Each structure stands twice: as structure tokens, then as C-alpha cells.
Amino acid sequence: MSEQLSTALQEADQRDLRRAARALLRQPLLLARDDPETFRVVRQQATPLRDWFEQNTGWRMHIDAEVARLFKRVGAGPDGTHPAREPRSGLPFGRRRYVLVCLALSVLERADQQITLGRLAEGIIVAAADERLAAAGVTFELSGRGERGDLVAVVRILLELGVLARVAGDEEAFMRDAGDVLYDVERRVMAVLISAARGPSTIAAESFTERLDALVAETEPASVELRNRATRHRLMRSLLDQPVLYYEELTEGERVYLSAQRGLLTGRVGELTGLLPEIRAEGIAMVDARDELTDVRMPEIGTDGHVALLISEELAADGRDVSVDELQALVRRLAQEHSSYWRRNTREPGAEVGLVEHALERLVALRLVRREGDRVHPLPALGRFGLDTPTLAPFQEALA
């Protein structure tokens, strides 16, 4: 084999490895039926992918003929900035819908290979009758359109995940009480759905916060070598999974390790994924020039995206903490200035409340601001959205 051909084959293999890694980072639960070609590449690259994630992040990987699963885990309890969302409307799940997801999975675990939406609803009603749920204020009786809507939203997210596959029927007909829906139950997907350090049923803690912490808690390393490896895993997870890694949020040991190994860590991430490191005095962001590896975008087209961008510019230019009331006043003024191409209802009284909440939800998720009650604190990464007055260097002034 010629050297030129060998180099070409190595480059092709590296491209496939990057493509497979990006696919799993974008969609950690990947089904063969959804994207056969990408799944084929992921399966071909299974060994180097498994080795890389295990060595650099501690994330394990499962792959079979139908399902590829990267068991991504964060280093702390969920912060609520990336909620489950109803696939069609994009509205975030509330408490009852999260409970219904768990109850639906418990019913499906004991179900036959196929199940109707009506039969699934019956099973959830029985499970929801548990007195502990009632004591916690969670009830479900399928008694009205609102509860039917909650059930359909849960089913749609299970369809999106691949836990269910629609065979016949339509959820809209069920909403109108005019028909039922038949699904296949995909047990291979259910078996790899939960990504946690331990099984939820083994946790004895009572409080919600303690149970969430126990789900992600990992064994404290005993040796220096194992502690260094755990530190590397935490930092690499942040670089891969967080919009921004801020130095001030790291422990002293993590800052020392990152200071010594920054080039190595960002280089490894970049080599695998194609992400480019943006290194500032306050932290590091791994930037995706192709804008694929994110579930929240900034900027984004449409009224809501424009509102978020204009609020970002205002906060970046001012640099101070502001109140939510101040931002609402700003958006009321902006709604008049941009009335020709914003949605018509944005000029209605009270519309600014929803617009500001939607914008802040996006900015917090992207780690551009921190919200504490009624106060909004700009974070350093928000500076990239600031607009400054152009200045001329001395030699340019002489030419002007």
C-alpha cells in the first residue's frame, strides 16, 4: 500500500470517527431506524469511540444492531435549564408530566409487545392511585382535556426517544376521544434509557434533592492517580457538554489541573469533535462552527430569538445587574420600535412578561446570565454579544 493511499484511508477513518462522535454527542440515544447511514458509521467506529469516552470522560457506551447509547452524566444534580419539552409545541414539561413519564415507563415495562394508548392510560391511572403520589399532590384520572394533553405529550416524547413506535392511529383523535392508537413497545430502547450512577430503586434518600444527588454521585477516588483521572473526567465532560466552563466555578484542584493540562484537554476535544477552543481570562468555550451540537441556539430567527439577542446586547453594553422589571420595560419599548416585523401580539399589554421569561430561559441555559430571583447578572461570555463603538488606530486616523 502506498504512503499516499495509507494517509487517505487514515483521514477517511478520522472523518468517520468525528462524524460518529458528533452524532452521539448531539443525540446520545441513536436508533438505527431513524438514520441508518449515521448509525452504520457509529457502529463501525464503536471500539475507538468506546475507548475515547471511557478514557477521557468516564462515560460508557452501549451499541447493538438497533440502538447506540452514550451514557452521558453530568457532575452535579440537574439545574433545570434544559427541561424535557413537548416535541410539537416546544413547551417545557411540568411536574405532573415528569411523573407521568415515570409511570408510563413502569406500565410499559410490564406490557406486552404492543399496547394501545387507552390501555397505557388505564395502567397509568392505576399506578397514579398510589397514596404516596396523592400525598405529594400528584393525581391523574384522565378526567379532562388537560390530562389527556399531558398524556399525549408524554407519549410523544416516548415516541421521539424511540421507546414507542406508532403502528396505527393518531394521538389527536385520542385527544378528541374519537379513536385510539396502537404502538410497538421497543424494549431494547427501554433497557438503555436511564443514565445514572445507580438504579433509582436502590436509593433510600427521601428528599427530592438528595435523590437527584444520589443518582449522579460517584465513588470518591482513593489514590492520587484516580483523583487526577476523576478531575480530568469532570473537566472533559464540562468542555463537551456545557456552553461555557467558568474558572470561578472550579475547585482549587480543578483549576490547577486545568492550568497545567488545558492545551491537552482542549486539543483532545477538538481532535475528536472539530470544536474550536475559545479561551478567555474567565473560562473556556468549545465553539461549534457548524452550529449542530446544541439544543439552544443564539442568535435565532423569529421574534423570540430577536428579543433574546437585543436583551443580550443591552446587558453586555451595560455590564451591571438588572431587575426583571427593567428588562420588561426595555421589551415594551422595543416592541414599539420593531412593530413592523415582530409578532402582532407582542404589543399587547403584558406581552413583555412572556417575552422576557423566554429570553432569560435561553440566556441562562447558554450560561450567558445568572438569574437570582428578580435580579439578572450578566456572565462574561455575554460579552460576545456586545456592540462597541469602532475606534481608529493612529495610522488609520492619519489616513482618514
- Range in 122-126, 328-332, 371-375, 382-386 the model is least confident about: 382-386
Q: What fold, for 224-287? A: Arc Repressor Mutant, subunit A (1.10.10)
Looking at residues 13-22, what average pLDDT do you find?
95
Task: Tell me the three state secondary structure of residue 185.
Answer: strand
Q: What is the pLDDT of residue 159?
A: 96
pLDDT tens digits, residue range 133-190? 888 888 899 888 889 999 999 999 999 999 999 999 999 988 888 889 999 999 999 9
Q: Cβ atoms within 10 A of the Cβ of 379, count?
A: 19
Q: What is the pLDDT of residue 54?
A: 96
| Residue of higher predicted confidence among 319 and 256 | 256
Percent of the chain at pLDDT exceeding 90: 67
Same fold, 224-287 and 303-385: yes
Closest to 371 in 3D by CA, of 149, 79, 105, 30: 79
Calculate ∠ Cα 97-100-104, nearest 5°: 140
Q: What is the pLDDT of residue 378?
A: 95
Q: What is the pLDDT of residue 78?
A: 55
Q: What is the pLDDT of residue 395?
A: 42
**Confidence band, pLDDT 50/70/90 cuts, at residue 387:** low
Cell numbers that stand for 205 in this block: 434518600
Dist CA 73 CA 57 (whole Å): 9
What does pLDDT average to over the chain?
A: 90
Sign of CA dihedral 28, 31, 37, 40: positive
Between the alpha carbon of residue 123 and those of residues 105, 128, 131, 151, 183, the distances in Å are 10, 9, 16, 12, 15
- 195, pLDDT greater than 90: no
pLDDT tens digits, residue range 43-93? 999 999 999 999 999 999 999 999 999 999 865 555 677 888 888 888 899
Looking at residues 8-37, what average pLDDT do you find?
93
Task: Tell me the three state secondary structure of residue 184.
Answer: strand
Sign of CA dihedral 93, 99, 102, 103: negative
Cell numbers that stand for 221 in this block: 477516588
Report the greatest alpha carbon distance in the chain: 81
Closest to 269 in 3D by CA, of 53, 37, 13: 53
Residue 246's DSSP bridge partners are 283
Q: What is the pLDDT of residue 213?
A: 81
Closest to 63 in 3D by CA, of 24, 19, 108: 24
Q: What is the pLDDT of residue 272?
A: 96
Looking at residues 2-16, what average pLDDT do you find?
82
Q: What is the pLDDT of residue 385?
A: 81
Contact criterion met (CB below 8 Å) for 272 and 17: yes
Please, what CATH class does the domain formed by 303-385 belong to? mainly alpha
Percent of the chain at pLDDT exceeding 70: 95
Give the H/E segment covering residue 191. Answer: helix 187-191
| Residue of higher predicted confidence among 308 and 391 | 308
pLDDT tens digits, residue range 200-241? 888 888 888 888 888 888 888 889 999 999 999 999 999 999
Query: Does the predicted model carry a pTM greater than 0.85?
Result: yes
Dist CA 101 CA 153 (whole Å): 9
Q: Which residues are within 8 A (CB) of 63 and not within 5 positions of it... i.e. 6 or more apart?
A: 42, 43, 46, 50, 69
pLDDT tens digits, residue range 307-348? 999 999 999 988 899 999 999 999 999 999 998 889 999 999
**Confidence band, pLDDT 50/70/90 cuts, at residue 1:** low
66 alpha carbon, distance to own chain's centre: 23
| Domain spans, the chain | 3-69, 224-287, 303-385
- 388, pLDDT greater than 60: no
Dist CA 86 CA 361 (whole Å): 16
Dist CA 13 CA 228 (whole Å): 31
Q: What is the pLDDT of residue 219?
A: 81
Dist CA 256 CA 377 (whole Å): 27
Q: In what order do the strands lie in the sheet with 369-372?
A: 322-323, 375-378, 369-372
Q: What is the pLDDT of residue 341?
A: 87
Q: What is the pLDDT of residue 115?
A: 97
Dist CA 184 CA 167 (whole Å): 7
